[in-house]
Structure 1
Amino acid sequence: MVREGRLRRGRALSTLRALRGADVNYPQAPPGSAPVTGWHFDSHVRRLASEPPGAPAAGGPWERACRLVRDYEFADPRILRGLYDLRAPLMGRDMLLDARFYGLRFDLGVRITSVTDTTRGTGGSERRVWGWGYQTLEGHLEEGELVYEVVKHLATGDVDFVITGHSRRAPIANPLIRLGFLLFGRFTQRRFYRRSARRLRRLLLDELRGGTPSAPEPHPRDPAVVIAPGAPGTPGTPGGKRIGRGGPREDTREDTGRDVRGDPRED
């Protein structure tokens, strides 16, 4: 079955709505790292662009990157696509993730349980931060939380994308899937971080150069439910906020990203 076709069917809508009754699939925050507890802790940082120092510029890189992160447009569609309802507030919103794992497809449920909109630090380390995080729900192949943040360093104007999280393998009944996840799960997870961060940078720079902003795709059976990332050329979605084009300077330096706790290699 074509992967994109799975999310466009009525069954995907039913699966998304069924997540309302699902609970987070782990009882508490992890006490420590693998191998003692099985938990892994990750942090991946990538420079996106630059704008003038100080508060985020209207229509600038930070603001536009926040929109792309809010809409889940940054996700690498070769690994994950999401289905969610625009009518639901961001905090508490359920998402159905359509995951690709070595030729197999999995429906994975997550719930947004944190939203960040704040300024951190003081003086030269002051940073404007916006982002959100989700936790895994019952039936997910993993247990844990993933947080996505767009960070502007107010003293320099540099804008970063930061992915942090903790995770471990959930109990998997199927022995073949359990073995596959044991062998390739962490590799795929780290690859998702790197590819998604690169994708966000590319989408942002394309938009700053005058390209069409990337937007989720309305579901054919319910246009208030969207598929993200959208297919190339997808028009704006209902309720999607368009941010006007500005003229900030952009950072065209190549940035390979870095894993603070993870695999620094690029694909």
Structure 2
Amino acid sequence: MGDRAFGRFDAAAAWRKLADASVNYSIDEVRRPAWNIDTHRTPLPAEPPGPPVPGGPWELARRLVRDYEFSPPEIVRALYDPAEPLLGRDMLLEARFHGLHFYCGVRVTEVVDETRGGTDHCWGWAYETLDGHLERGKVTYEVVKYGLSGAVEFVATCHSQGAPSLGPVTSLGWRLFGRRTQLRFYRRCGERMRCFVETALRGERVPADPAMRVGPLVYAPSDARARRLDALAVHRAFPG
């Protein structure tokens, strides 16, 4: 399965290298205008006011966030070990960009499981970029149930910038297309999350297919599938 998913690229070997990588930025560096600081909100089907409803939109969305099912496979896919605890988990991201497949590492550095203001239930997690990533920064994915109103939403908050160590060709490509692709990624994440929750509420199974595997590693999201042209793509590991 690994050969079909990644062509000639040994993704499992690249994933193993992440254990020795470090987060590639300091929070002290983060400030506008050099960094993009964003919040992306997607309303999901609402629930009655109060705590999350068993089997309701919040619980469904939480499972999708946990398993990285919201990521649009045409833009970003991930390889990780589901047996590892969520906190501290290393993930090899495959960023697919106009016939180029970039492989970059992230690490889950925060898990959110809390009630805010006594009424709002929030669950999620955050990853930060590792050495060699195209970007530097952190993304937090959360699903929030507002207890007083019953509203539910998927929220992605992030701070990021292109890695200063990118080569000239990659750096030019990032300046031309990186920010546009980044914003499209978050828009598609929200669209998929809303579609999947609505589908699950109709009683349909989401995701519909089992995830691909590379040995013990899971290839996410579950609807990510290899295409015949993937073998012809240019693969670059840790370009930053």
Give the TM-score normalised by structure 1: 0.79
1:147 match: 140
1:225 to 208, 211, 217: 217
**1:171 CA drift (Å):** 2.2
> Which residue among 73, 77, 83 is the counterpart of 2:79?
83
2:157 matches 1:158: no
Q: Please name the residue that 2:181 is paired with.
A: 188
CA distance in 2, matches of 1:170, 1:206: 38
1:70 maps to which residue?
66
Matched pairs, number: 223
Separation in 2, partners of 1:9, 1:218:
17
- For structure 2, the residue ranges without an aligned partner over 5 or more in a row are 226-240
Give the secondary-structure state (helix, strand or coil) at the position aligned to 1:42.
Answer: strand
Q: Which amino acid aligns with 2:128?
A: Q
Structure 1 residue 27 displacement after superposition: 2.9
In 2: Cα distance, 1:108 partner to 1:32 partner: 23
Q: Does 1:26 align with 2:12?
A: no
- Does the aligned pair in 2 maintain the 1:133–1:148 contact within 8 Å? yes
Offset at 1:173? 4.0
The 1-side partners of 2:26 and 2:64 are apart by 31
Calculate the aligned-residue CA RMSD, in Å.
2.1
Aligned to 1:128: 121
TM-score by length of 2: 0.87
1:131-177 Cα deviation digits (max 9, x unpaired): 00000000101000000000001011111000001001102442121
State the AA in 2 paired with 1:227.
Answer: Y
CA deviations 1:50-109 (Å, max 9, x no partner) are: 112111111111011000000000001111001110111000000000101222110010
Correspondence list, 1:171-250, <5 A: 171-214=164-207, 217-219=211-213, 221-222=214-215, 224-231=216-223
* Residue aligned with 2:10, SS: helix
Structure 1 residue ranges without an equivalent (≥5): 234-267
Q: Which residue of 2 aligns with 1:17?
A: 16
Secondary structure of the 2:84 match is coil
Partner secondary structure for residue 110 of structure 1? strand
Sequence identity of aligned pairs in percent? 48
Would the aligned equivalents of 1:128 and 1:154 in 2 still touch at CA under 8 Å?
A: yes
Alignment of 1:42-57 (within 5 A): 42-57=38-53
> Contact 1:84–1:227 at 8 Å: present in 2 too?
yes
